[in-house]
Structure 1
């Protein structure tokens, strides 16, 4: 079977800053892939490249154009509108009639446990609730691939657990997850495979048990021990 993504020696540069260097990566359907590394290591750039928001300047990039994708950002943008309309609008922009978009949006809000807040102003919700609205917005599009950039970074422990639960349920339903995280406990709980990036280079690519039990390249070993330079 063809992979969802196939990158060979991909390079991304912003002005004089090289964000990704010679990145080679293959992602299969159904994987739960975690991207780890310090700030500035290239995690967000790699996610945006996979989602088509950043164009590589070098190397080869192929993705399955038939696979539906959605992406969640660390701080999801909420329109000054109801929670329901925040979810329905994306469906409407994708061609669904407004009535059907609102119906599917309600189903999505029920999926993340927020149906009772459908009429609330989305801007007035807590950070955890907004992230769940963003998950509903993504799930409503019925993606095969969900990319998430630090999805629980600014959330309290209860909200983190709820978002993790939803991510796990989506993956159990067959969705491919690709997410960045500084939370190594979260990586252990959710990922089947770990990619370690440093200064835009892919340093380690291992199944999750192998990443946490070693041996690892020195840079990845230091990161795992919290010995960041």
Structure 2
């Protein structure tokens, strides 16, 4: 039986840049299943928190502990950026790349990539250059590339920020399907409607700190802090 990399325990973690504290201290435990949505006003530290959790930022103080050694946990999580990087390759080869770097043979990697492309709605574009895809298609490709290695945890930084309603709905379907297959999802969004649709749990951030961690239904109905209440009401929160 494979040991889960969760829970992830964050204790007194801070991220600093040039001596300035970006976020922290953060105390947080992520475990179980489902989708955690990170909310907060612009500049609250959502992206930096996700980068810290995934390992793209190193804590200046405090630390993070997965349930297995970091070297093993690193290969079982993925990150999708708000604006994903597109390689100068076909859709098939861009998705297959994630498997190729892990040692999968080319023929098998491309076969699995074609299957994954079809699952995310890119079956019509297998041989098309990734560079010419629409914004929604590029985000689907990024998700396919992240999911093809079946990560236990998937981090996403506002994956629908620049997409229209139809593309957003399609991305949300991919995410709910991934959740149903057991992928633990942690993502940020500025869209309260999307958070209400997807979230099992809410992390509310303000000024670089986690101000509230709550079950989604409770957070939206009876937020625990006046700042969260004001944020949900569309007020400017500083």
> Please, what TM-score do these two structures have when normalized by structure 1?
0.96
Identify unmatched segments of 5+ residues in structure 1. none
Higher mean C-alpha deviation, range 163-172 or range 28-37: 28-37
Match of 2:133 in 1: 125
SS across alignment from 1:178? strand
Q: Which of 94, 111, 124 matches 1:116?
A: 124
Shift of 1:9: 1.2
Q: 2:39 matched to 1:36?
A: yes
Structure 1 residues 118-168: Cα deviation after superposition (integer angstroms, max 9, x where no partner)? 100111010001100111111111111111000100001100000001101
| 1:19-168 alignment, distance < 5 Å | 19-64=22-67, 65=70, 66-67=72-73, 68-168=76-176
C-alpha separation in 1, matches of 2:46 and 2:55:
14
8 Å CA contact 2:5, 2:152 repeated in 1: no
Offset of 1:218 from its aligned partner?
Answer: 1.4
Task: Tell me the secondary structure at the aligned position of residue 185 of structure 1.
Answer: helix
Q: Bigger shift: 88-97 or 152-161?
A: 88-97
Indicate conservation of the 8 Å contact 1:41/1:197, yes or no. Answer: yes
State the 1:35 CA deviation: 0.3
- Unaligned 5+ residue runs, structure 2? none
Paired with 1:150 and 1:8, the residues of 2 have a C-alpha distance of 25
The alignment of Structure 1 onto Structure 2 pairs a total of residues equal to 229
Instruction: Tell me the alpha carbon deviations over residues 47-71 of structure 1, each in whole angstroms, 9 at most, x when there is no partner.
Output: 1111111100111311244441011
Match of 1:222 in 2: 230
Go from structure 1 to structure 2 and tell me whether the alpha carbon gap of 1:103 and 1:2 turns closer, same or farther (over 3 Å shift): closer
SS at match of 2:193: helix
1:3–1:26 CA contact under 8 A, matched in 2: no
Rounded Cα–Cα distance in structure 1 between residues aligned with 2:12 and 2:46 = 16
Q: Give the equivalent residue in structure 1 for 2:214.
A: 206
Runs of 4+ displaced beyond 6 Å = none
Rounded to whole Å, the distance in 1 between the matches of 2:223 and 2:197 is 20
Which of 179, 186, 190 is equivalent to 2:194? Answer: 186
Match among 12, 15, 25 for residue 12 of structure 1 = 15
Q: CA deviation at 1:2?
A: 7.4
